[in-house]
Amino acid sequence: MDIILLQDIEKVGYKHDVVKVKSGYGRNFLIPQGIALIANKANRDKLEGILKEETAKEAARVDDYKAMAEKLSGKTLKIGVKAGTSGKIFGSVTSVQVANALLEQLEMEVPRKKIELPVIKTIGSYQAMINFYEDIKAEVEIELIQE
């Protein structure tokens, strides 16, 4: 069964994605909860209109994104993590932690979906890429500090 997601669902897809799910899951849970719509012709047409509106809104924010990218260039975020004596961290550093650090340290609200992180296993410095818009990107340095 093909459905259109109305919000992000872990391990299924993101908002406005058209995904294939088992019929029972779609009919008995997602659609009654208002989380998804059946991906028929009418709903797909509505989705195209919604995506065009969102693209237009994003395009209108290009100047804001450029300013945010300039503000981030050359900045270093310090994130405290728990680590062993060898420097290997327990768990992982996520885009949510980076988004919270951006908000706390630089007073910038960046959606977590726009943050790309490398694989982080040990204490040290890493480069995170923030994709604001198609060609507007910023690189921010992340320094992991042992708590």
CATH number of the domain enclosing 88? 3.10.430.100
* The pLDDT value given to residue 42: 94
Same domain, 75 and 140: yes
- Residue 97 belongs to domain spanning: 63-146
The pTM (predicted TM-score) of the whole model is: 0.65
Q: pLDDT tens, 60-118?
A: 888 888 888 888 888 899 999 998 888 899 888 889 999 999 999 988 898 888 899 99
> Is the torsion defined by CA of 109, 138, 73, 94 positive or negative?
positive
CATH number of the domain enclosing 14? 3.40.5.10
Same domain, 81 and 116: yes
Q: Which of the four pLDDT bands, split at 50, 70 and 90, describes residue 141?
A: very high
- Total domains in the chain come to 2
* The pLDDT value given to residue 113: 87
Q: Does the pLDDT value for residue 145 go beyond 80?
A: yes
Same domain, 119 and 89: yes
Q: Does the pLDDT value for residue 39 go beyond 90?
A: yes
Same domain, 51 and 80: no
